[in-house]
Structure 1
Amino acid sequence: MPVLSPPTPAPSPRLSAFSLSSIIDRISESDPAHVSRREFAGLSPPVRLQYLAALLSDCTPSELLFVSTTISPLLRRDLLRDLPPEISLHILSYLDDPQALARASRVSKSWNRLLNDQWLWRRMCYIHGYALEQDGHAEAHRGRRVSARHSGIEGCTSNMHTASVRPRHMRLIRSPYSSSAMNWMHGGKLLRTHRIPLVSTSQALVAPRNPADEPAAAPASAIPTSIALDDAWLVVGLANSRIHVFSAKTGVLSRTLVGHESGVWAVALPNALVVSGGCDKELRVWDVKSGYCIHTLRGHTSTIRCLRVLHGRPVAVSGSRDRTLRVWDIQRGRLLRVLEGHEQSVRCLDICGSRVVSGSYDTTCRLWDVDTGACLHVLRGHFNQIYSVAFDGVRVASGGLDTTVRVWDAATGTCLALLQGHTALVCQLQLSPTMLATGGSDGRVIIFALGASYQIVQRLAAHDSSVTGLQLDDRFLVTSGNDGRARLYRFAGEGGTGEYVPVRDLSESSDSVWKVAYMRETCVVMCKRAGKTVLEIWSFKPDDDS
């Protein structure tokens, strides 16, 4: 019996030669074997597609590969070349590395022309802290450089939008401020990592004790409750009644202030003084250099929950669970006046000039004149406890347990805006000249534009749990959360408009971050890590200034 070949799958249907020839015949009766490019260009789109399909069906695999390789470059589009120049420049503005810009300029002639735009390089100079100076006028321009730190890009390079070739008498200079900004972006120097002591150290104002003579303090007692930071000192108040003073320049523990009988809930650092208050109802004034307690001020009948010191004046304002605010002369150590009106605990304070705003569990904010003690406005609108306030002299912002933020006119006391977006307690607020930043227990940070509309500029899913710290300026936004992260964002914009772009985590992951605070060249992260209270002090000073 003959052996038959096994059946093979039927080939895919293809246009026959008769079909192809019939198409060609219909296209050109004069030359059925060939259609010129001119004739093909004159065909209607459906017929062109039909002809191409018939032609490709007769190609071999190698021919199809050749066609695919030839077509692939033709299908690519240069978006930067095809888009309007304004949009292309906006896309390129997200590059913050000058080497990346230089490499991009070598991609094509069109990219090179686009990247020769002076605005891109002027912005790059601003980001990296370069400014143009004339050799003979360095002193005259030094003040201009300093003002550029606050005014933005226009104060940085006033002559860069002229010719692309710089005159010989112009030179680029770099300020220490710009170097610190780069250190923030790429990582600074960890000065010290402290495990906050549970008992007094040998530098305390009392004699050191043998740890065996008394039981160890509970771990919860070392939780940081408050922080104050300036160029020279870092002051940390703890729930175990201690106040630790660190050098902001070296990170070394300078001394421990002992005197409070229970937890310290508020600290302030006006010049060379430390002002503190807490659960023992006392306000204490310390000399930061010697650690000596200058004054012990009594008057509150319950825990002092918040504290502020007027700028440039030896006057402190404290808020307490006894429903009152008290104004103190911390230089002479005496009570000036009592501000009464709240019906429940005073939870938060903020000060601008000689006026103070207080937020209370009675769901109201009050605006006071510190010098007279008069209540200027009662701000009503929240329907639950208020936990945070911010005041810039023009407007008052308040947030609380009702998940909303309200903005008030400080002059008239009227509500300017009701801001929504959080789904839990609003516990952090900060005002800048152009923006309002809010942080909530939902882990979100929301940036609102200040103006007639108070529109949401940006929503950040900053943390997986409650936001515990929030601070921003014209360069950066720093946040911390109970998820154990402290995060850095960079402001990408000009003239106060723009968004914050995530840069990196400021510290390694921990169980929880309790507090974060920073100044231009110093950052402090206080966290719980491996069951211990840890305080990290970072320096972002330029290398030649470290």
Structure 2
Amino acid sequence: MASTPSTTLFMPIASPPTPAPSPGPSSPRFSSIASISRHEFSILPPAQRRQYLCAILNDCTPDELSFISTTISSLLKRDFLRDLPPELGIYILSFLDEPGTLLRAGRVSRYWNGLVADDWLWKHLCYIHGFVGDSRAQWVNSTSIMRPVSDDPESLSHPATPPLVERSYRSRFKTAFVTLSNWRHGGTLLRRIPLASQYHLPNDAMQPPIPNPSAAVPTSIALDSEWLVIGLANSRIHIFSARTGVSCRTLVGHTAGVWAVALVKGGGENVDLLDVADSLGNMQVSEQMANSPSKDTTTGLDQYLSSAMRGALGLEPFPKSHRHTASHPTNTAPNSARFSGYADRPSDPSGTADGWGQPNALVVSGGCDKDLRVWDVKSGFCIYVLKGHTSTIRCLKVLHNRPIAVTGSRDRTLRVWDIRRGRLLRVLEGHEQSVRSLDVCGNKVVSGSYDSTCRLWNIDTGECIHVLRGHFHQIYTVAFDGVRIVSGGMDTTVRVWDAETGACTALLQGHTALVCQVQLSPTMLVTGGSDGRVISFSLAPPPDPSKPSVFMQRLVPHDSSVTGLQFDDRFLVTGGNDGRVRLFEYKKGNGTVPASAGAGSAMAATHAGDVPGNFEYVRELTDASESVWKIAYSHETCAIVCKRAGKTQLEIWSFRPKETQTTT
């Protein structure tokens, strides 16, 4: 049977078309980016603008989105200070009380940098950090002088008086801030000078000098911003530049040991009696001036002086524009403000006094030869040799802005001298034993004697106002600020007296040996003793009147006698017979008892009421020596007289910024 052919037919079938993608959220009119221009986008309503941007972002790759994010973040930044008035922007920046933060703010933008450069901000910062109105030194004013660079060694050893150049408060703040930091962490040793002398003058000046290198024992020191004066037991007085440390000259004339020196700054206010009376319009002052020592008709030695020496003392007329040196700029305050502090200015703890308008600095010295000598620092010439004491001159002070010196002697008297005219004004008698210490404030002087009494005197009249009795042994040191009198001595106690009534207001104990150092400020008393202790007493009124008013902080910085002590609102520097010089910084109190500052300070505290503040140990200012004889400091210089390898050495430390040291 034959096969039948197949009849199946194969028909091609077309696949259905692929469906189109679903439409996106964008509006049909935004189907293409090119379908709208920037101008058309700018006129769209806000809702459609956002839809368009959303469509674009959905089509972007991750890299493109990162680029957009970076671009947008910079566009969203806004300078809020630029939108404010400049005065308001500066006021906002004034709340930054740290200089580092303020400088970082100046790097935000050029506009911010311009605001930060405003001098008012830095003046405000000076007040915040206490660089204006310091009790010890005017930090801003004293650093406002730019001195020319000089390679002449003669100009370095004899500093000239350059013109005053005003500096911005920013520059002043930087100098003061770096100086303060150098006190805490740095400092530059300018000079280390041996003071041993090869020869010693005998009592008889006609005899040849006697070799005596071991007699260079320092007995007294005075320091200001320009000069450093050291009195020695070998009858010499050395003068150094406080800015460079260069030895300027040696004053030779005393025939025995020098026991006391005082440095009178050049320039200053000439507090003439009639000028003061006319300036204040005060009859009481006018009467006081009429009875003043400067009106004494006693003939002085000035009639024998050369014209140059009369000019050095301010006796020769010279223009008023030269009455003030660069370090003592003219005070432009009203006369009543300038002279208001005349009657109650205490002495400077560094042994200096403001001048009375004379062009040159002067040195006043006394010692075992019983003579008081007045020297011109610029020439080194001895202007006056004033005789009258019959025994060693043990102490002396010079009044601020007045050519009056007061000396205390082992002959049991005090003598008042006119060091401009070269004459003795009066003798203050009453002590029964040697006068060991004295201090002046305004026109009054306090003397401490080995007869266990203190006496308060009126310098202008010679009247003994009060005799202060209470100590049981010899008095070695006194301090006077016009309101309080402080005395310390062999009985290991410190007594505080009321200068107006003469009453003993406080008996302060804590030392176990001789009290040989005291310094007084309006709010604090610091004492040093032979037991190595340094004790600070707060004299400020307590916040709570019901609590005791005296807070005592006991420091034990030395293993033996405290030989030097000086403090201000910022620092306390102590030197001891153990060869150490230690620095403490004053910290304002927070109402809690301070803890021990560590073995370096060996500090202990006694709490009596709220704590007004305390001294904290910072560091040692120099390497340990065999013994420290004397210390003194200004706001930028510290002088240390010590003994190393059996020889007396002077160290002069500078805490100025290094860039300013190269321009002095």
Q: Fold-level match, TM-score > 0.5?
A: yes
Structure with greater strand share of residues: 1
Alignment-mate amino acid for residue 131 of structure 2: R
Can you list the C-alpha shifts for 1:436-481, whole angstroms capped at 9, x where unaligned?
0000000000010104645233110110000000100111000000
User: Could you tell me which residue of structure 1 aligns to residue 409 of structure 2?
Assistant: 320
Greater C-alpha Rg: 2
Q: Find the counterpart in structure 2 of residue 425 from structure 1.
A: 514
Equivalent residue for 2:255? Answer: 261
1:235 to 229, 244, 253: 229
Deviations 1:367-415 (A, max 9, x none): 1111111111111100100001011111000000000000001111111
Are the counterparts in 2 of residues 273 and 286 from structure 1 also a CA contact under 8 Å? yes
> Once the two structures are superposed, what CA deviation does each residue of 1:145-192 show, in whole Å capped at 9, x if it has no partner?
26932568xxx9xxxxxxxxxxxxxx9994311111100111200000
Offset, 1:200: 6.7
Cross-structure match for 1:516: 631
Contact 1:129/1:178 (8 A) holds in 2? no
Q: Percent of aligned pairs with the same residue?
A: 63
Residues 305-340 of structure 1, C-alpha deviation per residue, up to 9 Å, x if partnerless?
000000111100000000000000001110011111
Map of 1:367 onto structure 2: 456
TM-fit CA distance, 1:514: 0.5
1:192 counterpart residue number = 191
Please say if residues 130 and 178 of structure 1, whose CA atoms lie closer than 8 Å, have aligned partners that are also in contact: no
Pairwise mapping of residues 38-187 of structure 1 onto structure 2 (< 5 A)?
A: 135=116, 138=119, 142=123, 145=126, 148-149=130-131, 174-187=173-186
Distance in 2 between the 1:521 and 1:506 partners?
13
**CA distance in structure 1 between the partners assigned to 2:620 and 2:627 by the alignment:** 14
Tell me how far 1:129 sits from its aligned partner.
Answer: 13
Question: Residue in 2 aligned with 1:86?
Answer: none
Q: State the distance in 1 between where 2:259 and 2:421 align.
A: 23
Q: Output the amino acid matched with 1:379.
A: L
1:250 matched to which residue of 2? 244
The answer on whether the counterparts of 1:457 and 1:499 sit within 8 Å (CA) in structure 2 is no
Q: For 2:258 and 2:105, how far apart are their aligned partners in 1?
A: 46
For these two proteins, the number of residue pairs brought into alignment is 401
2:371 equivalent among 263, 278, 282: 282
C-alpha separation in 2, matches of 1:358 and 1:534: 32
SS of residue paired to 1:402: coil
Partner residue of 2:54? Answer: none
For residues 261 and 454 of structure 1, the distance between their equivalents in structure 2, rounded to whole angstroms, comes to 50
1:89-143 per-residue CA deviation (whole Å, 9 max, x = no partner) reads xxxxxxxxxxxxxxxxxxxxxxxxxxxxxxxx978669x9999996585259638
Matched, 1:387 2:476: yes
8 Å Cα contact 2:196-2:213 kept in structure 1: no
8 Å Cα contact 2:122-2:173 kept in structure 1: no
Give the 3-state SS of the residue equivalent to 2:131 in structure 1.
Answer: helix
Question: Is 2:583 aligned against 1:488?
Answer: yes
List per-residue Cα deviations over 1:222-249 (Å, max 9, x = no partner): 0000001111100000000000000101
Instruction: After TM superposition, give the deviation of residue 197 of structure 1 in Å.
Output: 3.5
Superposition CA RMSD, Å: 3.2
| Structure 2: gaps (5+ residues) | 1-94, 107-113, 140-169, 202-207, 266-360, 542-547, 591-610
Which whole-Å CA distance do the structure 2 matches of 1:487 and 1:335 have between them? 41
Check if 1:345 corresponds to 2:445.
no
Q: Deviation at 1:542?
A: 1.4
Provide closer, same or farther for how the CA distance between residues 345 and 125 of structure 1 changes in structure 2, counting only shifts above 3 A. Answer: farther
Q: Is residue 448–residue 454 contact of structure 1 (8 Å, CA) maintained in 2?
A: no
Higher RCO by CA contacts (8 Å cutoff, separation 6 or greater): 2
Q: Distance in 1 between matches of 2:376 and 2:526?
A: 34
CA distance in 1, matches of 2:646, 2:133: 44
User: Quick check: 1:417–1:454 contact (8 Å CA) kept in 2?
Assistant: no
Aligned 8 A contact 2:220 2:260 in 1: yes
Change (3 A) 1:124 1:516: farther
Task: Give the conservation status (yes or no) of the 8 Å contact 1:129–1:179.
Answer: no
User: Is the 8 Å Cα contact of residues 196 and 647 (structure 2) preserved in structure 1?
Assistant: no
CA contact (8 A) 2:199 2:211 kept: no
Is the Cα contact below 8 Å between 1:129 and 1:174 reproduced in 2? Answer: no
Q: 464, 467, 471: which one pairs with 2:566?
A: 471
The answer for the alignment partner of 1:535 in structure 2 is 650
Deviation, 1:497, is: 2.9
Q: Counterparts of 2:223 and 2:560 in 1: how far apart (Å)?
A: 26
Contact 1:463 1:485 in 2 (8 A): yes
Partners of 1:345 and 1:359 lie apart in 2 by: 9
- Matched residue type, 2:651: E
State TM-score, norm by structure 1.
Answer: 0.69
